[in-house]
Amino acid sequence: MEAPFCEHKEVKVCYDNRRIILHGGSRLKTILEAKGVTKVYRTGRVDVWALRGIDLNVSQGEFVAIMGPSGCGKSTLLHILGGLTPPSKGEVWLDGVNIGALSDAERTRTRRNKIGFVFQRFNLLPTLSALGNLEIARYIHKNGAGGNGSESSRDLLKILGLENKLRSKPIEMSGGEQQRVALARAVINRPAILLADEPTGNLDSENSQTVLHMLQDLNTRFNQTIILITHNPEVAAVAHRLVEMRDGKIHDRVQDVTYHAAEESFL
Ligand SMILES: Nc1ncnc2c1ncn2[C@@H]1O[C@H](COP(=O)(O)OP(=O)(O)O)[C@@H](O)[C@H]1O
Ligand SMILES: [Mg+2]
């Protein structure tokens, strides 16, 4: 198989069987950094320690899979990384900005402009077609400027294999197709980072495979940075890095070490 490659401002990167090879001599840009992120949910008398000090660096163009047993804190981490939930302690830096230091309005704007979310449930607007769901997202991003199915919405839906479904409503689409529309909606604004919480969790294995290949394609084609929570080992196998969580902590970072070792050896 041909090794996918991508090129961005700073450095040319080849991903070959999870090894990252750098050409150009400059360090990969860190797009997201979590420092000592802790989350305690205070529910009545009992405190739930969902996260116990998470440090995580994600580079531009990286595809990171997070795995771990139910209840270990994966969704909480993703919500904090995306600025949906504040941490109890620690910081999240997104593209050089400490999102905890922003006002609510600034954080909402940052989230809207820089982050795409995909969840297990597709959350499409039921009365709108595939194209309509994309256009409304584009409309919101652009604060009102929109059209009746702009070229890039159509192109994106075509890339995701939905050229025959542009005018279909969610009810007329399979689960896999709906999730691909949700994926298109999440990346329509070219977010700095795509956060996906078990996006294949509601899909059969064939549709999971398709969505997985679409994620991989978005990653290589657009250098889309992705953090993906999954229980599916096949999904994790296509990522560049696997982060395993246990009990609110990152459990195993062997591949992280490999990643940085590869990076360092080319500097
Ligand atoms: N809003 C909340 N209020 C109280 N406890 C919560 C809340 N959200 C999650 N938790 C608890 O935090 C822990 C981590 O949950 P979660 O992040 O959803 O884990 P995962 O996504 O890995 O299944 C669990 O014990 C869960 O019950
Ligand atoms: Mg979860």
pLDDT at 266: 40
With a Cβ cut-off of 6 Å, ligand 1 is lined by 41, 43, 48, 50, 68, 70-76
Q: Which residue's CA is the closest to the ligand 1 atom numbered 14? A: 73
pLDDT at 238: 85
Atom of ligand 1 nearest to the CA of 73: 17
Q: Rounded CA gap, 91 and 99, in Å?
A: 8
Tens of pLDDT along the chain (267 residues)? 333 444 433 333 444 444 444 444 456 899 999 999 999 999 888 999 999 999 999 999 999 999 999 999 999 999 999 999 999 999 999 999 999 999 999 999 999 899 999 999 999 999 999 999 999 988 887 754 444 456 688 888 998 899 999 999 999 999 999 999 999 999 998 899 999 999 999 899 888 888 888 899 999 989 999 999 998 888 777 899 999 999 999 986 444 444 444 444 443
- Return the best residue to mutate from 37, 38, 41, 197 for the ligand 1 pocket (most ligand atoms within 8 A of CB): 41
Residue reference for tokens 């929570």: 229
12-16 vs 5-7, strand pairing mode:
antiparallel
pLDDT at 259: 44
Q: Which of 189, 57, 183 is nearest to 114 (CA)?
A: 189
Q: Which domain holds residue 224?
A: 5-265
- CA 71–ligand 1 middle distance (angstroms): 6
Q: Which of 180, 181, 244 is nearest to 211 (CA)?
A: 180
- CA 15–ligand 2 middle distance (angstroms): 28
Atom of ligand 1 nearest to the CA of 77: 17
Q: What is the CATH number of the domain that holds 128?
A: 3.40.50.300
Residue 163: Cβ within 10 Å count: 12
**Which ligand approaches the C-alpha of residue 72 most closely?**
1
Helix pair 175-187, 151-159: axis angle to 10 deg:
130
Q: Which residue's CA is the closest to the ligand 1 atom numbered 1? A: 41
pLDDT at 78: 98
Q: What's the structural domain count of the chain? A: 1
